[in-house]
Structure 1
């Protein structure tokens, strides 16, 4: 918690200043140092230490005291860079958002070392498959722990194809991979108060992807918010399921419970659903199915003028 200002006995402490995103993101990011001395630390180094701590031990481990210990600073000195943990969290979210910097390595593929996407002459299905496969690979690698917060592996965001469905699905896969690399991120997004420069750059990329839809600006922002919310919720549940897998007894008990409920005669729809042929249940396959339904369903919102043919000449997909 931020340090409280001392006040004379009987007086109320001064209220905490209102959060000012302009001061946070457009300021210098460093405290003033007396007699021309350079600050002992940088905001970037402090933020990187906080991210590494959250990646290793979870968001609850990130306290001003722990971060100060990681960088070898006094706790009070950290408040010159981030006045409270909430502000530090803002910095952390934008720090990892830099891993999705649009335009870096443009034309080299969805991720460094992966094949580039097919050109505009290729069909929609081919483009969607290539980008989904590459992004799913990034997610699998993130789950294996290959990426490190201290030396993050930046994902190369490919140029937009002009097929807004394929581009939006690629964005969703990239967001999931990022959240799996930093498992505290879904929870952090629910309490973030502003968009930093790296997050704004990715938002700009997403809005450009939606340009062919013909949606107005407000609708585009809503679509991106809806997509990000879906990805964060899915990854949160995915993490919970992966942790539950370490307790097979708990899963077996859940199966027994649902089997008993389905057999009681009061839930015929549930019984029919549970009796239907199973679909692939891997996290990657499930995410792709859910994402496809979300994005393809957005087509019904696009005005008729926005339903243009994709660059490959393919007819628009049905809603």
Structure 2
């Protein structure tokens, strides 16, 4: 059962969701729209996280009764689909691909990262299969065009985009968790002493070598760019 007491849906009907107009089934036309419902749900998730998004809370935000929302979003899974596509409308790319697919793919990834940092609930929402709506499809179309110069076939380009999105989502999820973690200076110093002791014990030569290597910038932006570069270097290789 859902949190609102309704049976969980067997799955989202993509045809019904994206190809047919969102109209209430019967009765007096309400004073709100699917867009308003979705926007209210996004605002809740941005402020309080996905757990705060219930049909009851969303209904209160738009000033409606809970049952009236089900004509537009019959369950939370459908609402999540709407939310993901709604915020995907922010992924606006005005220029066509330049032909330098590596630079263009970096730009795609950096755009995704900024987007997910604005909406910290997105990495979790993307961890389960989503049915791409019109905004998501527009961004996907651009990413596939970016990858065309690689010579990969269409299926492989889809895989690369899925891999890139999974990488960005995982990295941003880790970023968000690290920001939330509170570590005192004393704890940080204790961790450094512990690693130094481990490196000096003679039983971990690989780790000792890694810790002795020249340091790299550890800012979130620099770390993301470095990891992303390694991923892109592997695109197009078997």
TM-score (ref. length: structure 1): 0.69
User: 1:256 Cα deviation (Å)?
Assistant: 3.7
TM-score (ref. length: structure 2): 0.92
Provide the C-alpha distance between the structure 1 equivalents of 2:182 and 2:6, rounded to a whole number of angstroms: 43
User: 1:247 Cα deviation (Å)?
Assistant: 4.6
Provide the C-alpha distance between the structure 1 equivalents of 2:132 and 2:122, rounded to a whole number of angstroms: 14
Matched, 1:178 2:171: no
Contact 2:9–2:75, Cα closer than 8 Å, also in 1? no
Q: How many equivalent residue pairs?
A: 236
| CA shift digits 1:14-40 (9 cap, x unpaired) | x84542111111121221343xx4333
Matched, 1:207 2:144: yes
> Is the alpha carbon distance of 1:178 and 1:16 closer, same or farther for their aligned partners in structure 2, counting shifts above 3 Å?
closer
Matched position secondary structure for 1:215: coil
> Is the alpha carbon distance of 1:271 and 1:89 closer, same or farther for their aligned partners in structure 2, counting shifts above 3 Å?
same
User: 1:291 Cα deviation (Å)?
Assistant: 0.9
Q: Which moved more, 1:212-221 or 1:250-259?
A: 250-259
Matched, 1:264 2:201: yes
Matched, 1:96 2:87: yes
Correspondent of 2:31 among 36, 40, 45: 40
* Unaligned segments of structure 2, at least 5 residues: none
Aligned equivalent of 2:46: 55
User: 1:44 Cα deviation (Å)?
Assistant: 0.6
Structure 2 counterparts to residues 129-278 of structure 1, below 5 A? 158-245=95-182, 247-278=184-215
| CA shift digits 1:246-271 (9 cap, x unpaired) | 65455444434433332332211111
> Is the alpha carbon distance of 1:54 and 1:256 closer, same or farther for their aligned partners in structure 2, counting shifts above 3 Å?
farther
Provide the C-alpha distance between the structure 2 equivalents of 1:177 and 1:287, rounded to a whole number of angstroms: 11
> Is the alpha carbon distance of 1:252 and 1:73 closer, same or farther for their aligned partners in structure 2, counting shifts above 3 Å?
farther
Matched position secondary structure for 1:100: coil
User: 1:245 Cα deviation (Å)?
Assistant: 4.7
Aligned equivalent of 1:31: 24
Contact 1:46–1:67, Cα closer than 8 Å, also in 2? yes
Provide the C-alpha distance between the structure 2 equivalents of 1:18 and 1:239, rounded to a whole number of angstroms: 29
Correspondent of 1:19 among 12, 22, 25: 12
- Over aligned residue pairs, what C-alpha RMSD do you find? 1.9
Q: Which has the higher helix share?
A: 2
Contact 1:30–1:81, Cα closer than 8 Å, also in 2? yes
> Is the alpha carbon distance of 1:285 and 1:18 closer, same or farther for their aligned partners in structure 2, counting shifts above 3 Å?
closer
* Unaligned segments of structure 1, at least 5 residues: 6-14, 107-157, 302-319
User: 1:231 Cα deviation (Å)?
Assistant: 0.5
